[in-house]
Structures are given as C-alpha cells and as structure tokens.
Amino acid sequence: MSKKSAILTAILLIALLTIGAATVLAATNTFTGTLTSSNSMGTRFVTGCAGSSGAGTFYYAAFTVDVSQAGDYTYTDVGFFDGNPTTIDGYIGFFPDGGFNPASPTAGCVDAGDDSTIITLGAGRYTMVVTSFSQNVTGTYILQLVGPGEITYAAGADVCPNPLPANSVVRSIPAGAPTFYAPDLATQNNFNLPAGTWWVGETSGDFSRVWIACQAQPVWVPTNAIAP
C-alpha cells in the first residue's frame, strides 16, 4: 500500500469512529507560503518529535505564532493531498518561543507532524517551523490545523511567507501578462499581471518568475512580455 493510500485509509477510519460523538466547535487554521533555499538544516524532526530524519539538506521557514487554547489539533498537509504537483509534501514542528536551533532541530521539540496526524499543544507562544518531508525541496506549502483554538502569527512578528528571492531585479512589463502557477502553458491562472514594474527572478524555458508580495504566491509570466 502506498504512503498516500495508507494515510487516506487511516483518515476514513478516524471519521467512522467519531460518528455520533458530541459536536465540538473547532477552529481551522491554514498556513500557506513558499519554502525557499534561504534557510537549511542538516536533518529534521519527525512526527511526534520522536527522533530525527537521516542526514541531508532540508530547507525550512520559522514563524512566531500564538495558540489561543490548549488541546489536540488535527494536522493536514493540504499540499500533499491536493494533487497539484507544484505544492510540496510539507512537515510542521512546534518549539518553545525562540527555542528552535537549526543546528539541533530536535532539541526542545514540543510536537511535530507529517501528512495527517494529531499535534498536541498548550496555550501560548511558539516557534512554528515548516520544512519538507524530502531533502532539497522548495515550493509552495499549504498546511492546516483544526482544533479547539486559533493559531495566529504573533502580533508584531516579521512574517513574510513568500520572501523576495535573492538576485531578483526590477523589470518593466509594459503591457501586463498572463500568469501561470508553473513555467508551463498548461498551468495558466485565471488572472493577468497588470502593466507596471515588477520584481523578476529566476527563469525556466520561456518563462520568468515574478514576485508579488509577502502574502501572495509568486507567478510565472512569458519572458517575452518583459521589456529588454
């Protein structure tokens, strides 16, 4: 049985076992962003903080978050299950506020999860770390935690889930351009990039990647739409 089939079977069993249980109000907390190669660690935590993965290069992003209520949070890696090849197989871990050390990424780990699992947290402030299941992976992640309280970015925290890539330059796109979620004609979005000046980074084939803002995912546009 494949990893994904086994996980989906487990989810179905959990759902059947909970039929008839008392209704409990729950908050849905979704985190999305882009994992880049800006930060890396030589190994990573595993589900339940039970140890570490094998040695390699794992990219990560760390954020300060506040958990409003203690309890069990059902973690789902939406990007793993959505069938979109541009979203990554993500991993999530929680550490005491300011207590994450990429040189020793299991030290102090409170709880961590992969794909679909339960993460138990107390109320308070944490460092939330997003990484990937496999080594040397970058791309868009979509992670969701459903539980008794809200998990929010800490007030005043410098939160930029989609940081400006290194070596980006400001270029003119005088007539605007169609946008794509991958450098492929088959991945066109339903909106166009307005005419103006934009941060342009890497290229792939006939496409260039355009950075929009911290809270928006980058898009790809045809390189021939960019002024020389």
Give tens-digit pLDDT for 130-157: 999 999 998 888 899 999 999 988 875 5
Contacts of 104 (CB under 8 A, 6+ apart): none
Give tens-digit pLDDT for 21-65: 334 457 889 888 888 888 899 999 999 998 899 889 999 999 999
For residues 105, 109, 114, 117, the Cα torsion angle rounded to the nearest 10 degrees is: 180
Task: For each of the domains in the chain, give its residue range(s) and CATH number, in order of start.
Answer: 3-13+22-153 (2.60.120.380), 169-225 (2.30.30)
If DSSP codes are grouped into helix, strand and coil, which group holds residue 94? Answer: strand
Interval 2-13 mean pLDDT: 47
pTM: predicted TM-score of the whole model, two decimal places: 0.62
Question: Nearest to residue 161, comparing CAs of 66, 64, 89, 96?
Answer: 64
If DSSP codes are grouped into helix, strand and coil, which group holds residue 151? Answer: strand
Give tens-digit pLDDT for 74-132: 999 988 887 778 788 999 999 999 899 999 999 999 999 999 999 999 999 999 999 99
d(CA 74, CA 76): 7
